[in-house]
Structure 1
Amino acid sequence: MTSPLQGQEGHYWTEQYGTRSMLLSGSVIGGVEDLGAVFYNPARLGQVENPSFLLSADVYQISNFTIEDGVQDGVDTKNTDFGGVPSMFAGTFKIKAWPEHQFAYYSLQRARLSVRFNFRNESRGEVLDDLPGTEIFEAETRSNSSFREEWFGLTWSHKLSDNISVGVSANISILNSRKSNELFLRAFLEDTAEVGIYEYRREFRYNVYGFLWKAGLAYQKERLSWGLTIRTPHLNIINEGKYNYQEYYSGFTGSSIDGYYANSYQSGLKVRRKTPFAIGGGVTYSIKEKNKIHFSTEFFNGVNSYDQLVAKDHIAQSNPEDTISFKVVERLRPVINFGIGLEWYINKNVSGYASTSTDFSAIPDDAPQFNNQEAVVSNALLNANFLNIGGGIVLNFRGADITLGATHTGGSRSFERPFSFPEDGGGGTLETNDEGRVRWNRWRIVFSFSVPFVKSYTKKLEDKLQNLQKKN
């Protein structure tokens, strides 16, 4: 099994953007001070000093994904993945005709999910109830889920006064999603030397290109800064879906189950995607000037049940009376997340950070699982509530600033097994009323190195170029 898993449809605060924002668990709507402003509050871009030369962090991720009792009691599958995390790419620019306005461009990874689950088991005994004698029985399952969303955007911000600014981020969203499930059952009857094979495959995938806005208002005066944001629902622009289905069975002499043959390959299916309206707010307050407390909250409206992808009904070639239907439905419940972060001044060379925030799942508990082979499914993988925890230090030296920190996100959830493999020596037919449990933990190591004198020199050079442009 492979994984990383970072965010999915139904989780909104799993990802953080920018060095300080990561250490503060994203609780920076009111006081973001780096280029993460394009995501958290675009109005803050007009209040961040020299944002074009703030450096992003290097982030390394350790992700652990565990499925307990996934297909059999006492059988767990674990996977640990380590690697770098793609950072947000962003920069600022000016337009000569509007010198009092700030602009930024950026791309960021909004969500990434990739989980592959494989399991194989072989047993010998009276596994198949309707057949006499013993069998050598082999069962194998493969499940694959991937979900990837990228945002590309432009941000505009303008100061209405010394204390108040406004801003808007316009985002193009590119989403690619795929789910597949495979089940293979093979049996050898020792008494008759017959072989029976059952194969089942079902897959859907889709691409959606869309557009959404995020607008913000920011206020800053002395020790207090606050911000308000709104985010629009996703507007579909281009979409396309595919669906594949295969089910085959070659039976035994004397079996009560006839041979079976069914498949369908469909493309060009219409896809819909709906995301909630969201409104957020945050406050940052300076205590004795050098220490700060951050608080943020964001409410996401629910989305009523709708058909995300609907395949055309098709019949089994071996049995024209058997009609096979399939559709992906989506429903999101309303959630509200909270975050709190602390910055404290230790001495002139060291500052510390500590934070926590929630990431409640918007996926309902009764969302139909894709692996259960039902006609109606959802695209959800892990509808667990997550908790984000972050912390670190900033070391300020003459000629260099170093940021060191770590964050943790995790959660767990029980699920109904789509099937249970029989244990060695028999144990009856496949059962579907048992439960397993999925756990996910992600650690991220944050490292950032910046050289202040390079920033200062570059700022002076930028000012000279702007003065030359004004003279011309």
Structure 2
Amino acid sequence: MILFRNCFFLICLFQIWKCHSQEGNYKFNNFGNRSILLAGNVTGSVSDLGLTYYNPSFLANSDDLGFSLNAKAYQLTNIKLKNPSNKAQLSSSSFDNASTMAGGIFKLFNNRFAYSYLTKSNFNTNLNYTTNYLNDAIRNQFPDITKHTTTITLNSRIKDDWSGASWAYKINKQLNVGISTFVSVYSYKAHSGASHIFESNNENVSFYQNVVGFSQKSYGLFVKIGANYRFPKFHLGVNINVPYIEVLKDGSFNYSKLISGVSSDDDLYLSGDFKDVDSKRKEPLGVSLGIGVPIHKGKLHVNIDYVSSLNSYSRLKIPDIDLGQGTLTPIYFAEARKTVVNFGAGIEYTLSQNLNFYAGFSTDFNAFKESANIFDFSAKENKNIEIGEDFYHMSLGIDWKLKWLSIISGITYAGSSNTFLSPYAINVTPSVTINNTPETQFNYSRWQFVIGLDIPLLSKKTNQLLESL
């Protein structure tokens, strides 16, 4: 029987990586107009709506009552795989809306509260790729072949929306504490399809198709507990991210395999559709420590972020499936993460009475130690695969203060690059394989164009009403 296994495995890995980069890299997205321009290094100095995310205790320090719209208006993302086969290059470019945040701060019963909504992750990609190629390795195994056409279809979607409320309490003039609770609505869907058509000089046609898809939904809570203390010459802040509390969950999995035109003995069709698959989502404990140091006409922001590890667990418990090998094959969808420590710094400087300058830099190291892998069905050992890359983030922008609003604008950059083995490998039979050896260069870049508004007067009447209660 002709079994085409591991076809374009790296391309599948590339697709998974694109989705998981927002989950395995904890600083991939930042929130809050000024916090974005400081690359998220604001645990000890946050001064905008981002306090609900970075350190809710600063809500007790905030005088910016009103509504804030964080609109990282557009982002340009470019992903390239160079030399995935002998003659091909894969690329994916997009220009679309970036993650957003909106909310406001108000006083009630002599306490400060905040509400906020943010899109923690939002990733949607569709990649279709068709190629025709022949080389000596393939001709050695198929002497009569005249044409080989391969089509790859990859679709994925991750969406994680957070809606939350924050409260802070001023213990004394130096010490404040606060808490934020976010409701998370999480959805992850992926679909991978690969087909091969082999044509021979006697007009025989053989066809192979393999399709895999899954979905995971999770509803739960993220809790952030913060504190800050004002020393004579600097401000110190700490924020604890409590591990994710899952409340509701659901999963599904489907697959199909078709082999046709080989022979009556080898033709095969298999399929399976599993609903209500047991699923689990985990996010680890995190602790951030930051300081804000006033300098001449500005402030220096320094941050260090610790995120603990996660032991291996099954995100989806998929039943053993029939892949035409005589016995049922176990499918592992496991994930594990290592401990990560990131660091960064930002600076703000007053250019004039109404104009402030911001710049920032931060590391963003990949946390995945073992990642969910449902595409490599042929691996007898079901090996765990580490995916994801280390990123470096840079930001630059200004805050222009007008009488009735502030306009924040700027630009951010994130980039990564690495080299992988060629994915163009086909196992035709258990004893015959076709391996191409060129390395594949992976490059990723993202530019974000930031535009945000703070409108304190928008909620003036509402705040006056609440304060009268």
Classify the TM-score, shorter chain. Answer: 0.7 to 0.9
Ranked by relative contact order (alpha carbons within 8 Å, sequence separation 6 or more), the top structure is: 2
Q: Relative to 1, partners in 2 of residues 1:416 and 1:85: Cα closer, same or farther, differing over 3 Å?
A: same
- CA 1:111/1:392 → structure 2, altered by over 3 Å: closer, same or farther? same
Aligned to 2:366: 361
> In structure 1, the residue corresponding to 2:104 is in which secondary structure?
strand
Partner residue in 1 for 2:266: 258
Q: Larger Cα Rg: Structure 1 or Structure 2?
A: 1
Deviation at 1:161, TM superposition (A): 1.2
Q: 1:144 aligns with which of 143, 147, 155?
A: 155
1:338 pairs, out of 335, 339, 343, with 343
Letter of the 1:10 counterpart: G
Match of 2:293 among 285, 303, 310: 285
Q: Label 1:158 to 1:125 Cα distance change in 2 as closer, same or farther (>3 A).
A: closer
Structure-2 residue corresponding to 1:437: 441
Partner of residue 75, structure 1: 88
CA contact (8 A) 2:110 2:467 kept: no
Q: Find the partner of 1:270 among 272, 278, 281.
A: 278
What letter is aligned with 2:308? N
Does residue 112 of structure 2 align to residue 102 of structure 1?
A: yes
- Is residue 69–residue 435 contact of structure 1 (8 Å, CA) maintained in 2? yes
Contact residue 106 and residue 463 of structure 2 kept, 8 A: no
Contact map agreement 2:164 2:181 (CA 8 A) in 1 = yes
1:56 correspondence with 2:64 = no
Partner secondary structure for residue 233 of structure 1: coil
Q: Where does residue 7 of structure 2 map in the other structure? A: none
Aligned residue number for residue 313 of structure 1: 320
1:327 corresponds to which of 332, 343, 351: 332
SS at match of 1:176: strand
SS in 2 for 1:43: helix
Partners of 2:454 and 2:106 lie apart in 1 by 21
Deviation string, structure 1 residues 425-469 (Cα, Å, up to 9, x no partner)? xxx9642665423222111111235567x46xx64x467535644
- Partner residue, 2:6: none
1:40 is aligned to 54
1:73-129 deviation per Cα after TM superposition (whole angstroms, max 9, x unaligned): 35222222112324212123444xxx2322222221111223333221124677354
Aligned CA distance change for structure 1 residues 128 and 13 (closer, same or farther; 3 Å): same
Alignment of 1:148-167 (within 5 A): 148-167=159-178
Partner of 1:234: 244
With the length of structure 1 as denominator, give the TM-score of the two structures.
0.86
Tell me if the contact between 1:25 and 1:388 (Cα under 8 Å) persists in the aligned partners.
yes
Relative to structure 1, the CA distance from residue 115 to residue 50 in structure 2 (aligned partners, 3 Å threshold; closer, same or farther) is same
Correspondence for 1:207: 217
Structure 2: 5+ residue stretches without partners: 1-10
Distance in structure 1 (CA, Å) of the matches to 2:141 and 2:288? 60
Q: From the superposition, tell whether residues 222 and 87 of structure 1 become closer, same or farther in structure 2 (CA, over 3 Å).
A: farther
Contact 1:27 1:294 in 2 (8 A): yes
> Is the Cα–Cα contact under 8 Å of residues 334 and 373 in structure 2 kept in the other structure?
no
Q: Is the 8 A contact 1:405 1:446 kept in 2?
A: yes
Asked whether the 8 Å contact 2:64–2:105 carries over to 1, the reply is no
Partner SS for 1:206: strand
Does the C-alpha gap of structure 1 residues 279 and 236 become closer, same or farther in structure 2, counting only changes over 3 Å?
Answer: same
Indicate yes or no: 2:40 matched with 1:26: yes
Residue 124 (structure 2) aligned to one of 97, 102, 114 = 114
> What SS class does the counterpart of residue 14 from structure 1 fall into?
coil
Distance (Å, rounded) in 1 between the aligned partners of 2:376 and 2:440: 13
Q: Does the CA-based 8 Å contact 1:226-1:282 persist in structure 2?
A: yes
Give aligned-pair identity as a percent. Answer: 25
Q: What's the counterpart of residue 303 of structure 1?
A: 310
RMSD, aligned α-carbons:
3.0
Task: Compare 167-176 and 215-224 and name the one that shifted more.
Answer: 215-224
Q: CA deviation at 1:402?
A: 3.4
Whether the aligned pair in 2 keeps the contact of 1:368 and 1:377 (CA below 8 Å) is: no
Give, in whole Å, the separation in 2 of the partners of 1:125 and 1:362: 39
Given that 1:46 and 1:159 are in contact with CA atoms closer than 8 Å, whether structure 2 keeps it comes out as yes
Q: Distance in 1 between matches of 2:328 and 2:20?
A: 37
For 1:465, the equivalent position in structure 2 comes to 465
CA contact (8 A) 2:212 2:375 kept: no
Match of 1:419 among 416, 424, 439: 424
Q: CA separation in 2, counterparts of 1:168 and 1:36?
A: 13
Return the alpha-carbon distance in structure 1 between the equivalents of residues 396 and 135 of structure 2. 55
Counterparts in 2 of 1:431 and 1:162: CA distance versus 1, 3 Å: same
Residue in structure 2 matched with residue 175 of structure 1 by the alignment: 186
Tell me, yes or no, if the aligned pair for 2:420 and 2:441 is still in contact at 8 Å.
yes
**d(CA) in 2 for partners of 1:325 and 1:129?**
33
Q: CA deviation at 1:350?
A: 3.0
Is the contact made by 1:23 and 1:392 (CA closer than 8 Å) also made in structure 2? yes
Distance 1:203-1:230 versus aligned 2 partners, 3 A rule: same
Superposition TM-score, scaled by structure 2 size: 0.86
Output the CA distance in 2 between the equivalents of 1:221 and 1:309: 48
Distance 2:39 2:434 in 1: 44
**Preserved CA contact (<8 Å) 1:31 1:283:** yes
Is residue 23–residue 354 contact of structure 1 (8 Å, CA) maintained in 2?
yes
Q: 3-state DSSP class of the match of 1:310?
A: coil
CA distance in 2, matches of 1:32, 1:409: 22
Corresponding residue of 1:9: 23
Question: Counterpart of 2:316 in 1: which secondary structure?
Answer: strand
Distance 1:292 1:374, change over 3 A: farther
Q: Which letter maps to 2:273? A: Y
Cα drift, residue 44 of structure 1 = 0.6
Q: Given that residues 245 and 264 in structure 1 are in contact (C-alpha distance below 8 angstroms), is that contact kept between their aligned partners in structure 2?
A: yes
Kindly tell me the number of residue pairs found equivalent between the two proteins: 448
> What displacement does 1:135 show?
2.3
